[in-house]
Amino acid sequence: MEKVGLIEVLDRDGQVRQALAVSAWPVRIGRALNNDVVLDDPYVAAHHLTLDHAGPGLQLTVGETRNGVRRGREVWAAGVTVSRPAGEDWLVGRTRLRVRLPLQALAPELPVPEPSRWRPALVLGALGGLVGWLGWRQYLQSNPGEFLSGFATMLITVVVLMALWSLMWALGSKLFQHRFDYWTHVRIASTGLLASNLLSAVLAVLAFATSWVLLSRLRPVAEAAVIAVAIHAHLCAVLPARRRLLGWVAALMATAAVGTAAALQYQRTGRLTDELYLSTLPPPALRLAPAAPTDDFLESVRDLKPGLDRKAAELDDAAPHDGALAED
């Protein structure tokens, strides 16, 4: 018999779980056995809807159902008849349906994705960059002859943590994408960690060079932003269809984390950031800002007095005593 349509039952990821050929219109859909298409969904009524071919599209008549038929936020209640184009997703009970018609234009064939030849290079590059950075930092902090022992310990720690982190995300990919995308997550994690470290180091050196200490104070924010981007990349690898929503989620999470940390810091110390003063002292050749005479520097210190006096006037008998903080 000639196919006059195809009803597709979709899973939650939008993949076709079942396709039912239509040989004649109208088609009745519901849970009762006398329907043309029987859905095994407790949220579907006995005779939930009837579909008919009307013009270039479809006519949908909702049967005796309390849940109606939904499309996005739109709900068609029992007894309603609407004309809809083919190819839309409808929610019948908790089952997603889509109808294809013979004259409906087909989307072009998608090429089968082939693993990029650059993929191993990207993973190795990200990992190599991270190991190189960690080695460089360890080299800077160690004395001659003491590099390897310290580096080995640090490397093992970072590798184990990175492996566990990537494994967690790869399990997410397996769950939602049905593929164990471990090395993609390794690449994202190592790139994110490397980028946040590099950005932090560059900001510290720039803060020293220009004596604009705000750059150094902003390092936690910059690191949080990079980590948020990395987490967004992880999420997109797990749920690629929700890229935009996940972008908002990552941005909101980063903002909330930075805001909470700043609020707690302010409550504890009266400052928004942890850093009381710039402590990065690169080689003197990197200094661009001029050195001021002692008088000018001390004149700038005088600005501190009104703020200190105001805070001193705020007696707080609930605060710990001076010596008690050492016991914290």
Give me the residues that bind other proteins (CB under 8 A), please. Answer: 139-146, 211, 213, 268-271, 276-285, 287, 289-294, 297-298, 300-305, 307-309, 311-317, 319-325
**247-250 LR contacts (CB < 8 Å, sep 24+):** none
CB of 71 to other proteins, least distance (A): 57
Residue type present at position 233:
A
The answer to whether the CB of 100 falls within 8 A of the CB of 8 is yes
Structure tokens belonging to residue 160: 């184990």
d(Cα 3, Cα 21) in Å, to the nearest integer? 6
Closest CB 146 distance from other proteins, rounded Å: 7
| Nearest alpha carbon to residue 134 among 182, 185, 184, 193 | 193
> Residue 326 gets which letter from DSSP?
G
CB of 55 or CB of 293, closer to other proteins:
293
Q: Pick between residue 240 and residue 282 the one whose CB is nearest to other proteins.
A: 282
* Contact criterion met (CB below 8 Å) for 278 and 213: yes
What's the closest the beta carbon of residue 279 comes to other proteins, in angstroms? 4
Task: Collapse the DSSP code of 218 into the 3-class scheme (helix H, G, I; strand E, B; otherwise coil) and give the result.
Answer: coil
Supply the minimum distance, in Å, between the C-beta of residue 233 and other proteins. 31
Nearer to other proteins, 85 or 282 (CB): 282
Mapped onto helix, strand or coil, the DSSP state of residue 93 is: coil
- 149 or 300: CB nearest other proteins: 300
Q: Smaller CB distance to other proteins: residue 103 or 140?
A: 140
Residue 199 CB, nearest distance to other proteins (Å)? Answer: 18
Contact 224, 258 (CB under 8 A): yes
Q: Quote the least distance from Cβ 156 to other proteins, whole Å.
A: 22
2 vs 322, which CB is nearer to other proteins? 322
Neighbours of 9 (CB within 10 A): 17
